[in-house]
Amino acid sequence: MNRPLIKLCGNRSLEDLKMTSESNADYLGLIFAESKRRVQAHQVKEWLDSVDIKEKQLVAIFVNASLNEIEDIMKNLPIDVIQCHGSETVRDIANIKHHFNRRVWKALPHYEGTLSDMKKYAEAADGFVIDSKVKDAFGGTGQTFDWSKVPCYIQAAEELNKTLFIAGGIAPDNIHQLLGLHPPGIDISSGIEQNGKKDETLLTRLEERVNHHVSVSR
Ligand SMILES: O=C(O)c1ccccc1N[C@@H]1O[C@H](COP(=O)(O)O)[C@@H](O)[C@H]1O
């Protein structure tokens, strides 16, 4: 069995980036939006001078950012994927894709309209991050949603031929339930943090759970 793609998001220091770079993750995420995890391009540039992120790809997370704001990041950093985690329209996503010629993932909140939103955004987005819907927050809440809907999201993403990540409150203690649903991608931020930093013990435990799941599913 193939393991899901793993994205470790919300890297906010050199230490975080060193730790996640040593992991088996496929993608490392950086928040360029209002958040306790917000980072600045010049900081990330410095960190990347001293950390080898190996084959990992960098994902920049924005919330309702203008093209100029995104441009400021893109011209300074080797970003592979732009993740739009706000209320960007289909047209916004199409403009961002056209302007930067990068993969663009749209984060969609889990609610009764998510499947129809996936169909709507499919004409512009390369992939989706399905996250919990939490009042007054765009993401990084550490809240899970009702995972009984995950198989429907997987099927829709397959039919639309889009990348799919499940996000929201995923942690070492609950990841086994999600792995049982075989999502193609898993996105984790709060669940590997302790006192505002990425935590080596939590990250190791998370990786052990993923490896165990893959080995028993073979
Ligand atoms: O992490 C943040 O602070 C954040 C702020 C604004 C938009 C998105 C944000 N994070 C994204 O939220 C999901 C789930 O995070 P968590 O595991 O529940 O903490 C993930 O995609 C983060 O990149």
Q: What is the DSSP string of 67-118?
A: HHHHHHHHTTS---EEEE-S---HHHHHHHHHHH-SEEEEEEE-STTHHHHH
Q: Read off the pLDDT band of 134 (50, 70, 90).
A: confident
Residue 153 has pLDDT above 70, yes or no: yes
Give the end-to-end CA distance of the chain in Å, rounded to a whole number. 5
Instruction: Give the global pTM.
Output: 0.96
Query: Closest ligand 1 atom to the C-alpha of 170?
Result: 17
Using the mean position of ligand 1's atoms as its centre, give its distance from the Cα of residue 218 in Å.
31
pLDDT at 26: 98
pLDDT at 216: 82
pLDDT at 2: 80
Q: Is the CB of 179 under 6 A from ligand 1?
A: no
CA-nearest residue, atom 2 of ligand 1: 140
Q: In the chain, pLDDT over 90 holds for what percent of residues? A: 91
Which residues contact residue 158 at a Cβ distance below 8 angstroms, ignoring those fewer than 6 apart?
Answer: none
Residue 1 has pLDDT above 70, yes or no: no
- Spatial CA neighbour of 109 closest among 149, 57, 159: 149
Q: Read off the pLDDT band of 218 (50, 70, 90).
A: low
- b or e along 122-142 (b: 16 or more beta carbons within 10 Å of the residue's beta carbon)? bebbbbbbbbbebeeebbbbe
| Probe target for ligand 1 pocket from 31, 64, 174, with the most ligand atoms within 8 Å of CB | 31
Structure-block tokens of residue 151: 């198989």
Beta-carbon neighbour count of residue 174 at 10 Å? 14
Q: Read off the pLDDT band of 138 (50, 70, 90).
A: confident
Can you give the residue ranges of every domain in the chain? 5-217
CB-based contact 158:128 (threshold 8 Å): no
Mean pLDDT taken over the chain: 96
pLDDT tens for each residue of 181-201: 999 999 999 999 999 999 999
Q: Read off the pLDDT band of 66 (50, 70, 90).
A: very high
In this structure, CATH architecture of domain 5-217: Alpha-Beta Barrel (3.20)
Using the mean position of ligand 1's atoms as its centre, give its distance from the Cα of residue 15 in Å.
19
CA distance 123 to 31: 25
pLDDT at 68: 98
Hey, what amino acid is at 54? K
Q: In the chain, pLDDT over 70 holds for what percent of residues? A: 99
Using the mean position of ligand 1's atoms as its centre, give its distance from the Cα of residue 29 in Å.
9
CA-nearest residue, atom 6 of ligand 1: 139
